[in-house]
Amino acid sequence: MNGHEHERAMDLIFRRDVEGIGQDEGQWLESHLATCQDCAGFELAMSDAAQALRSFPVMASSSLVEATKARVHARAEQLRERDARRFLIAISFAMGMVVSAISAWAWWKVGGWMVEQFSLPTVIVGPGLVLFWLMPTVFLGMMLVAFPESRFEGSLMQLFMKDRQRGIR
Amino acid sequence: MVAAAFSTLMTMETEEAQIAQGLRRRDPEVLDALIEQYQHRLLRYLTHLTHNQATAEDLFQETWIRVLEKGHQYDGKSRFATWLMTIAHNVAIDHLRKKAPQSLDEMRDTEDAVPFEPVSTGLSPFEHAAAGEDRVRIQAALEQIAPIFREVLVLRFQEQLKLEEIAKLVGIPLATVKTRLYRGVQALRPALGGDPQ
């Protein structure tokens, strides 16, 4: 008997219970086990180990299951709120980008018209327009610094999000 | 017979696909049903892995939270049970890494393990006592085995997972699964009344 046969026998022993083996393989294994004490001993130990492990039933208590469900539901709610917030931010960002691009183009045209109409120096009109264009952002930035985040929560933003959540459900 | 097997396979595929859809939607009803269905299997796996019931219960909850968060990653092509155990495995690994800066291979839990809650087996008092003694002996032997071997034994004999599924779940080659299975059984042999090789 060579090492290859033992290796094949081990592989078949491992696979017999769960994956299943073919009839020919089963017959070969039985004949091998009849002549090989080592493999037969291991086969017996493995089936004993399987039986022993299955004799350790661990049951989840109903309180654990209920607590888990409650935690999962609460987390699901949090995730829904987060998704709604992300959606709102994404929409706001996209709209902001579009409005910014259009207004930048429009103000640049206005600036050009002012320079032509009133013969103003471009050195003043250019930076002046950029500053004017940035004013809403600067204003919002100052508001965000001045007021804590909680002031914005529970206001218009949450109202939007709740509407969207109702739509999802 | 072939038709019956095909029908069973199709039913399973449909079921897994429905689970995948439910997880993508984060449907609370689907999650509740899954928790009910897999509660005992999951807790049993975690209890054997951590050897501490309180820790296992914490990880049980954490696993379901992660199932909720990562649910969109489940494609419904593989068995849900295997995917669930993979999540549980990762949650347990994360926990053990946080708990002690040593590898899972070296981990030996020294905390007092809470005894397992047995279910009624319908045995006589004498048989029950004998079975209880066996259980204590085997339990003690299991505690001595390194978690990496214990995990493979549990996945194979309790959860009835295929060798390939275990390899995928634990993230090791198939040959290593067989080696761990072999060594795990050999380590249990004295407790089972046989001689280790």
Domains of chain B: 2-192 (1.10.1740.10)
**Taking CB atoms and an 8 Å cutoff, what residues of chain B touch A15?**
163
**Taking CB atoms and an 8 Å cutoff, what residues of chain A touch B162?**
18-19
Q: Cβ A49–B184 below 8 Å, yes or no? A: yes
Per residue in B20-63, pLDDT (tens digit) is 999 998 888 999 999 999 999 999 899 888 888 899 999 999 99
For the residues B156-175, what does the mean pLDDT come to? 90
Confidence band of A5 (pLDDT split at 50, 70, 90): confident
Q: Which of A32-36, A42-46, A100-104, B192-196 has the lowest mean pLDDT?
A: B192-196
A7 touches chain B (CB under 8 A): no
3-state class (DSSP) for residue A153: coil
| ipTM value | 0.72
For the residues B81-90, what does the mean pLDDT come to? 93
- With 0-12 / 13-18 / 19 or more C-beta atoms within 10 angstroms meaning exposed / middle / buried, residue A165 is middle
Whole-angstrom distance, CA of residue A154 vs CA of residue B149: 53
Taking alpha carbons only, the member of B169, B49, B154 closest to residue A56 is: B154
CA distance, residue A20 to nearest chain B CA (Å): 10
3-state class (DSSP) for residue B66: helix
> How many other C-beta atoms lie within 10 A of the C-beta of residue B54?
12
**Taking CB atoms and an 8 Å cutoff, what residues of chain B touch A55?**
131, 134-135, 138
First to last CA, chain A: 68
Place of tokens 């469900």: A69
Q: Chains A and B: how many Cβ contacts under 8 Å?
A: 129
Q: Residue A152 has which token pair?
A: 């914005």
Q: Is the pLDDT of residue A151 over 70?
A: no
Q: Is the pLDDT of residue B13 over 70?
A: no
**Taking CB atoms and an 8 Å cutoff, what residues of chain A touch B138?**
52-53, 55-56
Residue in chain A closest to B43 (alpha carbons) equals A60
Determine phi and psi for B160, rounding to 5 degrees: 55, 35
For the residues A5-33, what does the mean pLDDT come to? 88
Can you spell out the DSSP letters for B3-33?
A: HHHHHHHHHHHHHHHHHHHHHHHT-HHHHHH
Q: Which of A46-60, A155-169, B82-96 has the lowest mean pLDDT?
A: A155-169
Whole-angstrom distance, CA of residue B109 vs CA of residue B92: 13
For the residues A143-167, what does the mean pLDDT come to? 62
Q: Residue A81 has which token pair?
A: 């709120």
Residue in chain A closest to B150 (alpha carbons) equals A53
Residue scoring higher pLDDT (B165 or B194): B165
Q: Is the pLDDT of residue B170 over 60?
A: yes
